[in-house]
Structure 1
């Protein structure tokens, strides 16, 4: 079982317009609403790939009610903590003519210490039922101490449960220091963590993070592909042969697809192929973390990792 902790859930709305004109009025040709935020996108992606998934999130107001109603329909078991504030919304506007994407993301909704304590209690209860991976992705609300993810990593290790993290900033620094089983970040987040130059090769970033964390590490690099290491071997995932107009959530789809494969018993290299297939398939359809399973598997079957 995969348990995803969502510190910054949201209602993700994608408007597809014929052409986006700043300052102009637009009538979307299609609208796509999802229970979102990085962790819930990843959870939905893992469920799409057949994993047994639970998500734990603090949800409030009408947006929280929407997420609570939708997520179980998408194969994700939800443990919702009632929050005192309205859950945020995040907007993406995709232009058919220009091919560009305009994004407006609210800051993570504040979470109180008591609400976070309830999150941890739910996670503990789930793991007593069926131990498995614990994962957290996305930014932390400013109301929480950046060390809370490190605390999760320690608690998971004490229970012999692997912990995976996809975040940034001080929370990532704290988490990496306590050796999570998996760190997945993008190039910008890796550079911020390590304080290295922008031009540093992605595989060198992954290797440096692995030296600190001692676990599995993936660094995604947009349309340039991704790199990964388990400490013994290093791989490069080539740039995608297919690209789509909806890249939002592709990193989350990668994370969810990777964990679904690892939880099913795949070795790391095979899990990387599935993750990449999910990431590419995500960009082909509007709505973050939403894609066709067969398309992802077909793409994954054609991916060849390169040793580096």
Structure 2
């Protein structure tokens, strides 16, 4: 079967730099090992999906030397890239992992503001790319400053007009506006879903949240819940709960949600069933957390984890 075709709209890319140290101590000098990747949520997803064999391309807003580095890295990874120049330098996001400590220390600058002329150029470049790329368009992550709350909704609409299916993974007013344009998939976490629906996140029932959102969009909905797994609702209302294998607890969770979505798209676009796609997605999210560097995963590990997941129809 031909590989899935996935195009990502990367408005907030970054160079993601992870430092690995034996012990992180405030005020001390550290000599870290470093893992550097072309990142941001969209490009993390792109790299994960490409690792699985999907045909992936990106339209990205890039600026300065870090933007040049990202473009070079995407080419090396076999990911097609059309860049739109930004007057601002593409950001560098830093995370630090101590070998003897749980969790990460993270430094994430805001993405550069996108002025109107860059937004216009981005939409033109994206329209040109998707005209010859059927399949899925995905837009994820926070909207940069300078964009209206309707920005992602505009991308959903123009992609539908070109015959593509659209996946959205964001939050807040930008998500609400995009949902009103009926994306084919909304993939968000418990807290983003609860905010969208207007209920308390901690007490919310994920199946009920997925039903409310799915009835609003007419499409598929996935709500992730960390180590508790995820709920996936198909367009016809069929709903599955997936649970992760026990004793798998990766130390590098950054990018796991992006790898999850990349795995789901790669599987779905070649005809996998909702349950099978949900399995591979979960395997990818878990495999991502086992290796340093967001969007980095071993595809065999992802498939092994997928086979060990438990899927239950609700």
Normalised to the residue count of structure 2, the TM-score between the two structures is 0.94
Correspondences of 1:50-61 after superposition (within 5 Å): 50-61=53-64
Deviation at 1:120, TM superposition (A): 1.7
Q: Which residue of 2 aligns with 1:299?
A: 305
Q: Which moved more, 1:16-25 or 1:174-183?
A: 16-25
1:66 aligned onto 2:97:
no
The partner residue of 2:105 within 94, 102, 106 is: 102
Does the 8 Å CA contact 1:223/1:240 hold for their aligned counterparts? no
Q: Partners of 2:276 and 2:264 in 1: how far apart?
A: 9
Aligned twin of 2:221: 217
Q: How far did residue 127 of structure 1 move?
A: 2.2
Stretch deviating more after TM superposition (92-101 or 54-63): 92-101
Counterpart-to-counterpart distance in 1, 2:119 and 2:237: 37
C-alpha deviation, 1:116, in angstroms: 1.8
Distance in 1 (CA, whole Å) between partners of 2:180 and 2:155 is 12
* Matched position secondary structure for 2:106: strand
Kindly indicate whether the alpha-carbon contact (under 8 Å) linking 1:58 and 1:119 is maintained by their aligned counterparts in 2: yes
| Residue pair 2:244, 2:282 contacting (<8 A) in 1 also | no
The ranges of structure 1 where at least 4 consecutive aligned residues each deviate by more than 6 angstroms after the TM superposition are none
CA distance in 1, matches of 2:27, 2:231: 40
- Where do 1:14-163 residues align within 5 Å? 14-28=18-32, 30-163=33-166
Deviation at 1:131, TM superposition (A): 1.7
Q: Which is further off, 34-43 or 160-169?
A: 160-169
The answer for the alignment partner of 2:237 in structure 1 is 232
- SS at 2:212 equivalent: helix
1:87·1:109 contact (CA, 8 Å) conserved in 2? yes
Q: Distance in 2 between matches of 1:159 and 1:192?
A: 30
Q: 235-244 vs 139-148, which deviates more?
A: 235-244
* Per-residue Cα deviation, 1:130-173 (whole angstroms, up to 9, x for no partner): 32211111101111111011111122222321111111111100
The question of whether the paired residues in 2 share the 8 Å contact of 1:166 and 1:185 is answered with yes
Contact 2:7 2:133 in 1 (8 A): no
Structure 2 CA distance, aligned partners of 1:122 and 1:296? 33
1:246 and 1:92 map into 2 onto residues whose CA distance is 10
How many residues in Structure 1 have an aligned counterpart in Structure 2?
307
TM-score by length of 1: 0.96
Task: Confirm or deny that 1:166 pairs with 2:169.
Answer: yes
**1:187-206, aligned counterparts within 5 Å?**
187-198=190-201, 199-206=203-210
Contact 2:229 2:244 in 1 (8 A): yes
Is 2:281 aligned against 1:275?
A: yes
Q: CA deviation at 1:270?
A: 1.2
Alpha-carbon RMSD across the aligned residues, in angstroms, is 1.3
Is the Cα contact below 8 Å between 1:240 and 1:280 reproduced in 2? no
Using a 3 Å threshold, how does the CA distance of structure 1 residues 240 and 176 change in structure 2: closer, same or farther? farther
* CA contact 1:3–1:123 (8 Å) conserved in 2: no
The whole-number CA distance in structure 2 between the counterparts of 1:286 and 1:31 is: 9
Partners of 1:261 and 1:245 lie apart in 2 by 25
Inter-partner Cα distance in structure 2 for 1:243 and 1:236: 19
Q: Which moved more, 1:251-260 or 1:231-240?
A: 231-240
Secondary structure of the corresponding residue to residue 258 of structure 1: helix
Shift of 1:190: 1.1
